[in-house]
Structure formats: structure tokens, C-alpha cells
């Protein structure tokens, strides 16, 4: 290399000055090959310090810059900005942390000084191999595709359209509203009625910014944030296909319900008066809660946690809607005997417990059980339960089962089409379960509502509004998208086409070119994590700014 490297050691007030012999450091490093100049400065992050650095870059005609100072968390960005303003590509810079790693760590000044020399030498040797990296800018389409016309899809569409975004809302069935539209009451504490869902459906249908496509499915998706091409297939008129362009996609495909017939414990199908929660809800909606023979029920069992054991999780909403059912029944027939069989009451929202206590005061019986079996017989229904190790049973006219919420049937198909992962329960997986609960690993693809896992209507609405918040802040009309600069690249001549990299890429940035028999990285999608670099058996992939020569020389010098 024929570079001119400038090395600047920051005194950081007394923090580095008092604990490291900076003159000795400068003496040692100034003789290293390609080091044009090595200097000290009292506080490089200060206004004067930055000005000094900028002047030095120009005056000394530096091609590379090393700053020995604090943690990159504190000031890497500061010094990269100085480079940029002084006409030096910011990637031709290396920050060496001699404060946290040397000065603050080691009380012996000689030891701290010799460690600092090693680290700075490592930085100098590394920076000599740095290459200029240029930021790219891509146009982004601000339009959004929303998949699923349930409550989450409706809310997402309205929220996006409110900011004048063009929305394509695709719904597989003929109707909007999803599962919520099949309920009689939403949250009965507040008397929220179905009409509220109907109002939302009407708003969506009327909205000029929302293109509603019912009886329609997504057939294929290609592209990345800001530039997705989507093939839609209409089921209405034969199977007509069309293509649309969008910048982001929201998956709001909802949930399915556990089939109680998968276990003989619940007696479903054995007696006509054993109903699922949804069947019961529809009966309530029709205005008549009656036995199949048309008679009024005298006793009803409400059985929680149906399928929880099989699925391995609690569905969160069943306890509350079973309380709602108890209220329905008691309001309709006050002399009715209602018993709830539960394992643990899951009432996590602030208003839930009060609702439970109201139910208790209406004379509803609650039995905590370890195990429940519902047996449908010709003459009636028997609920056998075990509590505190003892088995007991009661006879009822009607039993309502609360089945677990499970992933909707299209989940895995959509996951492979969109290249987004599923978690162990079969729902879509969040990119980060805690910090980023509605994003997927594919930038520009978001999920909302029960497609991610069981949740109630308010939580689905929150997640839907959240997707719009994320989209408004990452895909802004008129603003270019800047993809990651430090991406992976595959050298064609070394790639054997084994496709190992495809399986490790969390972001779906790698595809296989069957014509050439090699893998390719889409630089617009790659986030530079480096997983593929490590996985490649033939060493064909390198990561910009983390190349083998850069890392090798850096480590070598640090260990020397």
C-alpha cells in the first residue's frame, strides 16, 4: 500500500493522559510503515478537537485515519462524520479504544502503555486494508400490501390510509371482518357491540386510498423493502392473476382453532350439545341459546384450556370469553346452573378481574381442576374432573369448549413465500420477541394480530397501528432508502453452489442462480451479519469492511 496514515491519540483529559505514556506510544508507532504522522490532542471529541482533526486530514493529505481514544459507542460516529466533512471516505477510518480497554482497565502505567501500543498498531495495520465504501440510495414505493381482512388487516389499512398511503387489502374469503365479525359482543364490560366492526368494514370499503380485493390470495412475492413485486390471484373470476408493486407488506392472517376432535378427552361430536366456543357464540348471535331438542338448558359446563396441553401454550383470551359466556347465560336464564372448569384463571388485563368477580356474584361456580374429561352420552353429558388428586363428576345438558388458538392454515405457505420464519408453535416469528415484536427478519415485511400468536382484540389493534407506525418511520414518500453498506459479496469463481449460505441467512438476502450454479447476495437486503461468510466451506464469501486481511492483520498485531 502507498497510503498516508494519520494517527491521533486523544488525551481524554486526564483519563488517558495520566494512565498511558502517550509520548512513548507516539514514538513507537510513528515508525510503522505508511504512518505519515502521529500526534496527540487534549480532547478530540470537543469542537476544537474535531476542527483540529479536520484540518490535519486536509493538511497532511491523509488517505487513512486512526484515532486512539474511547469506545466506538461514544464517538465512532463523531469521527466518521469528521472524515466525511473533510473529504475522506469514513470507512477509511479506524477507532482504537485505549480508554476502556487500556487506561481504565490497567492500573500499571507501563502495562497499560504497552497494551495501547499493540492495539494502535493493530488498528494501523487493519486500516491499511480498508477500502472506500459508498452509500447507495434506492427509490422506495410508499404503497403497502395488507394480507388478511380481519380486524388487524382493517385497522392496519385504515391507519395507513389515514396518512394518504395507497393500500391494497387482500382477503382470501368473500367477506371482511374475520373472526371478530362472528362474535356477538366484543368486550362486554364496555358494551362494545359488533356494530363497531361493521363501521370499520364500511370505512375501509369507502376509503379512496384502500383497494379492497376479496376472494383474492397472494401467489408470489419478490423484492425487498421499498420494492416488492407481488402476484395476486383472484378466486372470483376463474383464477385471474395480476401483479402489483408495493414498498411494504403487512401479514395479518389471523388464527385457526384447535379441533377438539383431535382428543377423545373433550367428547366433541359425541353429543350434539357439546359445542365449541365459536358455535356457541353464533347461537348467542342468533338470539337463542337452546339445546338441540329445542328445550331450555338447565345446566351448562364451560370447559377452559381445550388443547392447551397438546399445543403447549396458554391462548390468553379464553378465560375472559368464557366469563363472557357465563354472563350471557345468566342474563338469559337466571336460574341456569353454570360451572366453569379451569386450570388457572388467566386474567392479565386491568379490567379482567372485576369482570370475573361480577360473574362470581351472579352465582357462577368455578372449579379449579388438574384434569377434565367431557363425555358425551345419549342421555346427557358428564364432566369428570380431578381436583386435589380426587376425581368427581357432574352431569350437564350442555358443554361449551374453549379451544386453543392455533396458526391459520395458510401460515406456512405464506412464510415460505415471504421468506419469513415460524416459531416452534407454528406462528410467525418476531425478529426480536421483546424489542421488535411486530417486525419480521425481512425488512419491509411486518406482522400484526393473531398471525403472531394468540392475543385479544385490543392487542391486535395495537399491533396493527404499530405496523403503520413502523412503516411511516421507515418508508417515507420522497425519501430514498439507504441499505447497509457493510454487506457480504460472493466471488463467483470460488462459489461451488453448495447453498449452505442460503440456509444460514436470517434475512433472506441470498438466492441461488440455477443457470450459473452459484449463490448471489442481494445487497439491498443483506444486513452484514456475516453468518454466510463463516458458513461458506470454500471461502467464497467476504464481508465488506470485515475481510480476512483486515481481521487477520488486526488480530495478528494485537497478539504479537
Partner 1 sequence: MKARTEMKKQNVLVIGAGVAGMEASLLLANAGMKVFLVEKDSLIGGKTIKFEEVYPNMECATCMIAPKQQDVLQNENIEMYLLSDLGKVQGSAGNFKVTVNKKARYVSLTNCIGCGACYEPCPVSLDNEFEEGLSKKKAIAVACPGALPNIPAIDPENCLHLNGKKKECKACQEACMFDAIDFTEKDETIDIEVGAILVATGFDMFDVTALAQYGYGKFPNVYTAMEFERLYAQNGPTEGKLILRDDRALKSIGIIHCVGRGEQGYCSGVCCMYSVKFAHFFKHKATEAKICQFYKDLCIPGKSHQRFYEDAHDKEVAFIHYEDIQVEELKGNLQISYEDGNGKKDSFKADMVVLSPAMVPRKETERLAKTLGISQDKRGFFSTQNEQLSPVTTEKEGIFVIGCAEGPKDIPDSIAQAEAAVGKILSSFQ
244 is an interface residue for partner 1 by CB under 8 A: no
* Measured torsion, CA atoms of residues 347, 352, 358, 361, in degrees rounded to the nearest 10: 20
Enclosing H/E stretch for 412: helix 411-418
Of the candidates 68, 92, 187, 509, which one interacts with partner 1 according to CB under 8 A? Answer: 187
- Pairing relationship of beta strands 488-490 and 541-543 according to DSSP bridges: antiparallel
Quick note: the x/- pattern for partner 1 over 9-38, rule CB under 8 A, is ---xxxx-----------------------
Of the candidates 3, 380, 421, 437, which one interacts with partner 1 according to CB under 8 A? Answer: 437
CB 433 within 8 A of CB 320: no
Residue 429 C-alpha cell reads as 416469528
The distance of closest approach from Cβ of residue 347 to partner 1 in the complex, given in angstroms and rounded to an integer, is 5
Question: Cα Rg for the chain, rounded, in angstroms?
Answer: 32
Of the candidates 194, 201, 278, 345, which one interacts with partner 1 according to CB under 8 A? Answer: 345
**Rounded distance between C-alpha atoms, residue 340 and residue 354, angstroms:** 17
The distance of closest approach from Cβ of residue 369 to partner 1 in the complex, given in angstroms and rounded to an integer, is 11
Angle between helix 277-285 and 318-332 (nearest 10): 40
Total chain residues near partner 1 (CB under 8 A): 70
- Pairing relationship of beta strands 210-213 and 167-170 according to DSSP bridges: parallel
Please identify, using beta-carbon distances, which residue of 264 and 353 lies nearer to partner 1.
353
**Rounded distance between C-alpha atoms, residue 280 and residue 303, angstroms:** 12
Residue 192 C-alpha cell reads as 362494545
408 is an interface residue for partner 1 by CB under 8 A: no
Which of these segments, 7-15, 31-39, 139-147, 273-281, binds partner 1 (CB under 8 A)?
7-15
Of the candidates 453, 483, 508, 528, which one interacts with partner 1 according to CB under 8 A? Answer: 453
461 is an interface residue for partner 1 by CB under 8 A: yes
The distance of closest approach from Cβ of residue 70 to partner 1 in the complex, given in angstroms and rounded to an integer, is 8
Please identify, using beta-carbon distances, which residue of 141 and 159 lies nearer to partner 1.
159
Report helix, strand or coil for 522.
Answer: coil
Please identify, using beta-carbon distances, which residue of 110 and 436 lies nearer to partner 1.
436
Quick note: the x/- pattern for partner 1 over 296-315, rule CB under 8 A, is ------------x---xxxx
Which of these segments, 21-29, 192-200, 241-249, 262-270, binds partner 1 (CB under 8 A)?
192-200
Residue 514 C-alpha cell reads as 440455477
For 296, which DSSP code? P
389: left (phi over 0), alpha (psi -120 to 50) or beta: left
Site for partner 1 in 479-508 (CB under 8 A): none
135 is an interface residue for partner 1 by CB under 8 A: no
Which of these segments, 123-131, 133-141, 280-288, 418-426, binds partner 1 (CB under 8 A)?
418-426
Question: Nearest CA to 519 among 536, 534, 531, 507?
Answer: 536
Question: Nearest CA to 397 among 470, 326, 296, 473?
Answer: 296
The distance of closest approach from Cβ of residue 389 to partner 1 in the complex, given in angstroms and rounded to an integer, is 9
160 is an interface residue for partner 1 by CB under 8 A: yes
**Rounded distance between C-alpha atoms, residue 327 and residue 334, angstroms:** 10
469 is an interface residue for partner 1 by CB under 8 A: yes
Find cell 485505549 and name the residue: 98
The footprint of partner 1 (CB under 8 A) covers: 12-15, 43, 45, 73, 77, 159-160, 162-164, 186-187, 190, 192, 196, 200, 308, 312-316, 344-354, 368, 387-388, 423-425, 427, 430, 433-438, 453-455, 457-459, 461-470, 472-474, 476
Amino acid at each position: 500500500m502507498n497510503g498516508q496514515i494519520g494517527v491521533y491519540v486523544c488525551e481524554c483529559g486526564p483519563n488517558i493522559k495520566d494512565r498511558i505514556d502517550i509520548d512513548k506510544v507516539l514514538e513507537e508507532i510513528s515508525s510503522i510503515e505508511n504512518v505519515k504522522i502521529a500526534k496527540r490532542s487534549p480532547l478530540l471529541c470537543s469542537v476544537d478537537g474535531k476542527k483540529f482533526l479536520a484540518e490535519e486530514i486536509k493538511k497532511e493529505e491523509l488517505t487513512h485515519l486512526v484515532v486512539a481514544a474511547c469506545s466506538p459507542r461514544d464517538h465512532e460516529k463523531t469521527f466518521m462524520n469528521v472524515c466525511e466533512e473533510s473529504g475522506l471516505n469514513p470507512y477509511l477510518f479506524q477507532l482504537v479504544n485505549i480508554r476502556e480497554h487500556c487506561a481504565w482497565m490497567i492500573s500499571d502505567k507501563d502495562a497499560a502503555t504497552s497494551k495501547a501500543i499493540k492495539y494502535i498498531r493493530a488498528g494501523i495495520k487493519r486500516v491499511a486494508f480498508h477500502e472506500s465504501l459508498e452509500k447507495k440510495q434506492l427509490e422506495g414505493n410508499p404503497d403497502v400490501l395488507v394480507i388478511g381482512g380481519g380486524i388487524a388487516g382493517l385497522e392496519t389499512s385504515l391507519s395507513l390510509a389515514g396518512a394518504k398511503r395507497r393500500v391494497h387489502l387482500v382477503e382470501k374469503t368473500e367477506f371482511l371482518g374475520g373472526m371478530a365479525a362472528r362474535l356477538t359482543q366484543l368486550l362486554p364490560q364496555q358494551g362494545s357491540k359488533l356494530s363497531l366492526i361493521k363501521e370499520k368494514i364500511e370505512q375501509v370499503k369507502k376509503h379512496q386510498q384502500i383497494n379492497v380485493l376479496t376472494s383474492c390470495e397472494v401467489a408470489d412475492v419478490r423484492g425487498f423493502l421499498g420494492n416488492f413485486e407481488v402476484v395476486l390471484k383472484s378466486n372470483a373470476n376463474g383464477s385471474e392473476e395480476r401483479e402489483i408493486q408495493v414498498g411494504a407488506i403487512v401479514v395479518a392472517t389471523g388464527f385457526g382453532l384447535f379441533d377438539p376432535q383431535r382428543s377423545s378427552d373433550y367428547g366433541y361430536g359425541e353429543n350434539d350439545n357439546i359445542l365449541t366456543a365459536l358455535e356457541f357464540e353464533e347461537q348467542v348471535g342468533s338470539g337463542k341459546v337452546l339445546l338441540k331438542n329445542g328445550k331450555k338448558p338447565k345446566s351448562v359446563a364451560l370447559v377452559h384450556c381445550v388443547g392447551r396441553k397438546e399445543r403447549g401454550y396458554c391462548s390468553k383470551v379464553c378465560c375472559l370469553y368464557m366469563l363472557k359466556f357465563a354472563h350471557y347465560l345468566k342474563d338469559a336464564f337466571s336460574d341456569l346452573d353454570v360451572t366453569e372448569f379451569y386450570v388457572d384463571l388467566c386474567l392479565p388485563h386491568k379490567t379482567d378481574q372485576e369482570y370475573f368477580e361480577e360473574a362470581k356474584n351472579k352465582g357462577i361456580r368455578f372449579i379449579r381442576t388438574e384434569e377434565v374429561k367431557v363425555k358425551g352420552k345419549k342421555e346427557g353429558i358428564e364432566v369428570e374432573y380431578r381436583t386435589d388428586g380426587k376425581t368427581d363428576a357432574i352431569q350437564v345438558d350442555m358443554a361449551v369448549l374453549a379451544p386453543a388458538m392455533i396458526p391459520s392454515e395458510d401460515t406456512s405457505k405464506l412464510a415460505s413465500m415471504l421468506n419469513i420464519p415460524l416459531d416452534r408453535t407454528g406462528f410467525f416469528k418476531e425478529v426480536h420477541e421483546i424489542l421488535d415484536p411486530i417486525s419480521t427478519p425481512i425488512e419491509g415485511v411486518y406482522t400484526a394480530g393473531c398471525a403472531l400468536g394468540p392475543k385479544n382484540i385490543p392487542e391486535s389493534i395495537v399491533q396493527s397501528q404499530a405496523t403503520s407506525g413502523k412503516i411511516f418511520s421507515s418508508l417515507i414518500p420522497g425519501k430514498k432508502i439507504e441499505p447497509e453498506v457493510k454487506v457480504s459479496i460472493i466471488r463467483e469463481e470460488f462459489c461451488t453452489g453448495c447453498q449452505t449460505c442460503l440456509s444460514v441467512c436470517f434475512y433472506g438476502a441470498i438466492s441461488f442462480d440455477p443457470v450459473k450454479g452459484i449463490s448471489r447476495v442481494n445487497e439491498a437486503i443483506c444486513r452484514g451479519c456475516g453468518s454466510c461468510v463463516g458458513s461458506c466451506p470454500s471461502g467464497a464469501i467476504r464481508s465488506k469492511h470485515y475481510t480476512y486481511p483486515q481481521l487477520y492483520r488486526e488480530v495478528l498485531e494485537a497478539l504479537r
